[in-house]
Amino acid sequence: MVGPTRVSVCGCCGALRPRYKRLVDNIFPEDPEDGLVKTNMEKLTFYALSAPEKLDRIGAYLSERLIRDVGRHRYGYVCIAMEALDQLLMACHCQSINLFVESFLKMVAKLLESEKPNLQILGTNSFVKFANIEEDTPSYHRSYDFFVSRFSEMCHSSHDDMEIKTK
């Protein structure tokens, strides 16, 4: 295994992975300090817009990666995954947001459950972006109870750093 992307033992096996997984893997640079690979993110966004039925799989795979990276304390990759999610959410919100939202909310919840204030802030900012999107067909089946409870807890945080507490 080399860097964040997997290199299979047999060079030809990479082509057997689903296209959406290859596109998602390609947005992550070898060094997370380099940030999101913009040209590959454009390709992923184009693919998501061209094949909206794949959006839920893209979201699920990004969610899988984010959860794994949180567990491994690879926070640079977590930030990249959330940036990608935010961009996909903004680009694809009109036609097929409901296919994508469950994975998105799962990832935001994972960040809010973290003990790391910076991950909580990242999750909060992504949730705010999501909340400001007007849906063509609102979905009333979603439950936001966890988010209401968690945001209330965060408002009463006893964190020592006042700047972080305010954020």
Residue 140 has pLDDT above 60, yes or no: no
Establish if 157 belongs to a structural domain: no
Q: What is the mean pLDDT of residues 138-144?
A: 66
Is residue 58 a part of any domain in this protein?
Answer: yes
| 141 located within any domain | no
Residue 148 lies in a domain: no
Q: Per-residue pLDDT tens for 92-116?
A: 765 556 767 888 888 899 999 988 9
Q: Is residue 1 part of a domain?
A: no
Question: Is the backbone of residue 119 left (phi > 0), alpha (psi -120 to 50) or beta?
Answer: alpha
In a domain, residue 13? The reply is no
Tell me the per-residue pLDDT of 29-61, one tens digit each, with 9 for 90 and over.
999 999 999 999 999 999 998 988 888 899 899
d(CA 78, CA 70): 7
Residue 55 pLDDT: 87
pTM of the model: 0.78
Q: Is the pLDDT of residue 153 over 90?
A: no
Tally of helices (H runs) and strands (E runs) in the chain: 7, 0
Q: Which residue has the tokens 């794994």?
A: 68
pLDDT number for residue 68:
94
Residue 12 within a domain: no
Q: Which domain holds residue 92?
A: 19-132
Is there a domain that residue 140 lies in?
no
The count of structural domains within the chain is 1
